[in-house]
Amino acid sequence: MAADHEDWCPVSGWEAYEVSTRGQIRNRSTSQVLKFINTVYFHVMLYRDHIGTTLRVHRLVAEAFVPNPESKPMVNHINGDKHDNRAVNLEWVTGKENSLHARRTGLVGNRPQRGRKVRSICPITGEKVEYISMEAAARNVGVDAARILICARRPECRAAGLHWEFIDAQKSLNAEWRVLDECDGIRLDRIRYEVSSLGEIRNVRDNRPLYPCRVTESGHLVVNLTIPNSTVRRLFLLRRLIAAAFSPRPEGWSWSWIVRSRDEDRLNVRADNLVWAPDMRPLRELPEPTPALTDTEVDQLLEGLSLGE
């Protein structure tokens, strides 16, 4: 199996979908490549009879392309990058083999590296730039994510001429956090959720980061929040929560507007990448937003928040 060649085959048990040797999943009838849920591992939502199921992408790839003659139960990423789901990077292992590999490659240690957020450091100017994931960093600087992973573990290495380091999920240097008091007309202040300018959300009471639970068929991240004074949980589009707290409202704005991504990447929910738009016209044709939001305007934005797009 050549590393640069992409083969496709049906997903076992999910005949409406195909998986490739490069770690992609697509709809067989439309050939549309599916968006992934970006957490510690890449997950994908597959549908049968209008019911969605979340599955780990690396297991789908391994089951399709990696032989398992000894029936080992776990799939390991050979280079340590949990988002590199190419078949050549996967192997079947036992639990013991998986633990030994994690220690040998530095995936486990004194503190977890959950979320895989990274920061680049210019060796000349010292300028630091933060990225919500290694994949986002790789797309921006034009190198493979596995190279960034290696350099984040070895300070003497460089990728794209830059040094790299992991970012603690709760200590992003440039993140601004704002309390989310109300969503979709529902008060959330007793739970105290906060959203960040880097597209994160956390529960303030226990300082616990929250991660998207699924991605919609149109490619938007969804989070599951608890409603105060009840055991009910509700789904919210993460991009609308971030935009409600950070994105200025253009003239004529209303809640019927959608939230657009400036770089057209629907998984990039950083505040500086989101903009309110009345429709799907090119962003350059839309009116400029007002420059600032007062606290009162933020409260008004949060009233009646809906899933919309």
For the chain, domain boundaries = 8-105, 118-166, 177-302
Task: Please give the DSSP secondary-structure letter assigned to residue 250.
Answer: B
Enter the CATH code of domain 177-302.
Answer: 3.90.75.20
Chain mean pLDDT for the chain: 77
Q: pTM higher than 0.85, yes or no? A: no
Tokens 């995936």 locate to 107
Tell me which amino acid residue 144 is.
D
Nearest to 81, CA basis, from 14, 157, 17, 153: 153
Check residues 38 and 171 and name the one with the higher pLDDT. Answer: 38
Please give the full DSSP string across 138-172, using - where no structure is assigned: HHHHTS-HHHHHHHHH-TT--BTTBEEEE--TT--
What percentage of the chain reaches a pLDDT higher than 90?
Answer: 16
Q: What is the CATH number of domain 8-105?
A: 3.90.75.20
Task: Report in angstroms the alpha-carbon separations of 221 from 45, 212, 236, 305.
Answer: 11, 6, 9, 16
The pLDDT of residue 124 is 80
Mean pLDDT, residues 212-235: 76
Q: Do domains 8-105 and 177-302 have the same CATH topology?
A: yes
Which residues, 6+ apart, have CB-to-CB distance to 230 below 8 Å? none
pLDDT tens for residues 188-198? 666 678 888 88
